[in-house]
Amino acid sequence: MFALGLREGLEAALIVMMIALILRGSGHQRRLLVAVAAAVVICVAIVVGVRSAHALIDDTTRHTIKAIVAAIAIVALTSTASWVVRWTQTDHPPVDAAQASGLVVSAFLAVLREGLELAVFPAAGGGDRWAPGGPAMLLGVLTATTLGVIGYRLARESVAGAATGTAVLLALIAAGLATGMVRSTQAALGTDPDVFVEIGWLGALPHWLGDLVRGVFGWHATPSTGEVVAYGTYAVVAALVLARPAPRNPAREGGAITGARS
């Protein structure tokens, strides 16, 4: 559960960190803090509500919801990573009020989505709605939050480099969610997954480290054929999306050419 809280917390922390860096010095960071705080309050209510109703939802429904939420998260993380990469390829113009509002809403939705995932993911296949994972999951979220704050402070002098690293991490987390989506779908359908390959070095990791790697990146020692296909397919798609160059701005290029001629 610690790894789950760390992964979901990292998703939100990385997005909020990048938005905070982009809004730095624009006068809109206070709005960002208010939006994130409001999302956290709503997240707590969602987690308590869903976990309290845990016994009313059967395992098939829980696994189905988990697969759907994972699919939505994959799209959201990939689009965010793509946007961050495009941003690094521009001259980083100051954001206006409308752009700042869009970024603040994006941060709010990112935190809110992670709250929904934290509510739904542990419910799939669990017998007790809280113990023993609740405190560990909360510790994972707090650890991710701390890492986000540290990352923000360290990245203030190199925003472009932080943006690239953030995009790569978001893509790796999304790839792990792709394997999780396959596992949840198989569980919802009641199928027994095969073992495509046994990865010795992952199996040899200490238990806590293996759980952490699996929880954050979706890697484990005995992936099924479906998981390998999902991970590989997503890796190819993400590479194509992130490697795509930013669209050229003819007006800006024309201005630069005119200025050079004059």
User: How far is it, in rounded angstroms, from Cα 177 to Cα 74?
Assistant: 7
pLDDT at residue 131 in the model? 42
Q: Is the peptide bond before 132 cis (omega within 30 degrees of 0)?
A: yes
pLDDT at residue 255 in the model? 43
Q: What separation in angstroms does the CA of 84 have from each of 22, 81, 148?
A: 10, 5, 16
Handedness of CA 23, 40, 136, 221 (dihedral sign): negative
Non-local CB neighbours of 182 within 8 Å, separated by 6+ positions: 224, 226, 227, 230
pLDDT in tens, the chain (262 residues): 787 788 888 888 888 998 888 888 777 888 899 999 999 999 888 877 776 776 667 778 878 888 888 888 898 888 888 888 887 777 666 677 787 888 888 888 888 877 777 776 665 444 444 444 677 888 888 999 999 999 888 887 778 788 888 888 889 989 999 998 999 899 899 888 889 989 888 888 888 788 788 878 888 899 999 999 999 999 999 999 888 776 665 444 444 434 444 4
DSSP 93: P
How many other CB atoms sit within 10 Å of the CB of residue 108? 21
Structure tokens at 231: 């991970």
| Cβ–Cβ under 8 Å, residues 112 and 47 | no
Question: What global pTM score does this model have?
Answer: 0.76
